Amino acid sequence: MRSDVMKKGLEKAPHRSLLKASGLIDAEINRPLIGVVNSQNDIAPGHLHLDAISEAVKAGIRIAGGMPLEFSTIGVCDGLAMGHGGMKYSLPSRELVADSIEIMAQAHPFDGLVLIPNCDKSVPGMLMAMARINIPAIVVSGGPMLAGKFADRAVSLSNVFEAVGLVRAGKMDEQQLAEMEDQACPGCGSCSGMFTANSMNCLTEALGVALPGNGTRLAVSAARIRVAKETGRKIMELVEKNIKPRDIINEQAIDNALTVDMALGCSTNTVLHILAIAREAGVTLKLDRFNEISARTPNLCRLAPAGNHHIEDLDAAGGVPAVMAELAGQGLIVADALTASGCTVGENIAGCKIVAPEIIRRAADPYSTMGGIAILKGNLAPNGAVVKRSAVAAEMMQHRGPAKVFDSEELAYQALIQRQIKKGDVVVIRYEGPKGGGGMREMLLFTATIAGLGLDKDVALLTDGRFSGATRGASIGHVAPEAASGGPIAIVRDGDIIDMDITNYKLNLVLSDQEIAQRLAAFQPPESRFKTGYLARYVKTVSSADTGAVLIT
């Protein structure tokens, strides 16, 4: 066993003494030692209940003959960090999650790991760590939140953000907003739509690193506890068979994840995270692969914010296994890929079917014959930009308009609430990329206010920053190279015409090559705003969005 180097032999008597100081007896020390990584905290509703998940995991480990040893890591709530400087720390937290797990798992040589994330960056951070460390490991998340109920309809957190714009537009009063605020998030779990956390949790199934049901079983359900217990049992099988993350996360698994991503209409943030996970697993993945998979994959689901259904509805309709079975019937899923269940994908989804075609459409009747995410390129984004195509109104799939340029989210938001942004405009928000923004923060408050003001079918948004999975509308992010690195987005001026064509994957500034070259030659990047602390270190080493915004060492 890997843990033997810490506990076996004469020289390890001091080590055993320390383990006994924690209350362990010889019978426990002699078992395989399983690290249980718990990102529980009291501030994030997605993480609030993870102690209960951890206890279920540990019960499963003990049932199967292992010894669970729990340790913690951080977990940021993106909703609470949204709209202020705290959002700068969200994406950088992903790297700290991965690094902290690496440190704990290498300093204390566990025989296996069970990873318990739930929210936006804790899921990819843990997946990056498991691929990097490459000892037997499996994921079980805390599960999605129930949708709220307001005015006889299902609502989620994104509706509250959009309601702020409705109040500003005079379409809702503050008392109604207060009522929605009380009802939209009824309890613990990751926010109830197909936002980033639930996107990534669903993709753990498609990647094969979690058991079926992990992405959709509700946080408050007994089914979630059962998945956690089975996960605890399963890690012992993975340890016995020495099945490691890189045996599972290979090119086939990445393609399966991208295919499910496109079918579900997941968050644009999955692009950043899948790139980063693939890198840790040693899998070569380029942005162009996203469009290749999208071109062949039907979009089968329109979950909030793209539609009115939520994760609980997806679960009731058959969940991720039903989606994968439908895709497999079209030859779009690699069925013989290995998974952490110990079975192949094909074995996991055998007999699974769609039970509510109004929620998961048949491949013969998709919302679109193409997937939910598109990568755009052109002279404004030579290295690529990302849009959630499935959440864009038909009227905005092709749009040409004048640029309104802002050098921060705050300046753009002030212009928006002062009604300086008009129909037809293309709002450009720059210096919010990984380096320039110090963390590439999400802009849900801005995009939700646009929707609340009724401008989501008339105004486009372009940024080197990124968006929450709860964003809808013509919101194009991850523009690369970013402004701080001298990308063309840095030289856009008010009134310049921007031509976006999502249908044909194009994003261009309507200027001559000569004019663009002259402006770029004259460009001088501003000095970094970050002088101390973690962000100062982060911006010095972070890569571009088109490579996953990973830290380069």
Residue with tokens 């498609």: 206
Write the single-letter amino acid at 293: I
Residue with tokens 């002699």: 30
DSSP structure class, residue 482: -
Whole-angstrom Cα distance, residue 550 to residue 225?
33
Query: Are 220 and 52 within 8 A, CB to CB?
Result: no
Angle 342-347-350 from CA coordinates, rounded to 5°: 150
Closest CA to 269 of 392, 489, 122: 122
Structure tokens given for 299: 């979009």
Please report, to the nearest 10 degrees, the dihedral formed by the alpha carbons of residues 308, 444, 398, 408 taken in order: 180
Angle 197-199-204 from CA coordinates, rounded to 5°: 95
Pairing relation of β-strands 148-150 and 398-406?
Answer: unpaired
Whole-angstrom Cα distance, residue 343 to residue 221?
25
- Which DSSP string corresponds to 151-178? TTEEE-HHHHHHHHHHHHTTSS-HHHHH
Rg (C-alpha) for the chain, rounded Å, is: 23
Query: Are 327 and 263 within 8 A, CB to CB?
Result: yes
Q: Respond yes or no on whether the N-terminal peptide bond of residue 305 is cis (omega within 30° of 0).
A: yes
List active site positions: 468
* SS3 of residue 530 by DSSP: coil
Whole-angstrom Cα distance, residue 442 to residue 471?
9
CA atoms within 13 A on the CB side of 257: 32
DSSP structure class, residue 527: P
User: Inter-axis angle of helices 319-328 and 196-207, to 10 degrees?
Assistant: 60
**Total Cβ atoms within 10 A of residue 288:** 12
Pairing relation of β-strands 460-463 and 475-480?
Answer: parallel
Whole-angstrom Cα distance, residue 478 to residue 462?
9
Closest CA to 356 of 323, 313, 317, 307: 317
DSSP structure class, residue 317: T
Give the end-to-end CA distance of the chain in Å, rounded to a whole number.
31
Structure tokens given for 465: 């920053």
User: Where would I find the beta strands (DSSP E) of 300-397?
Assistant: 373-378, 381-388
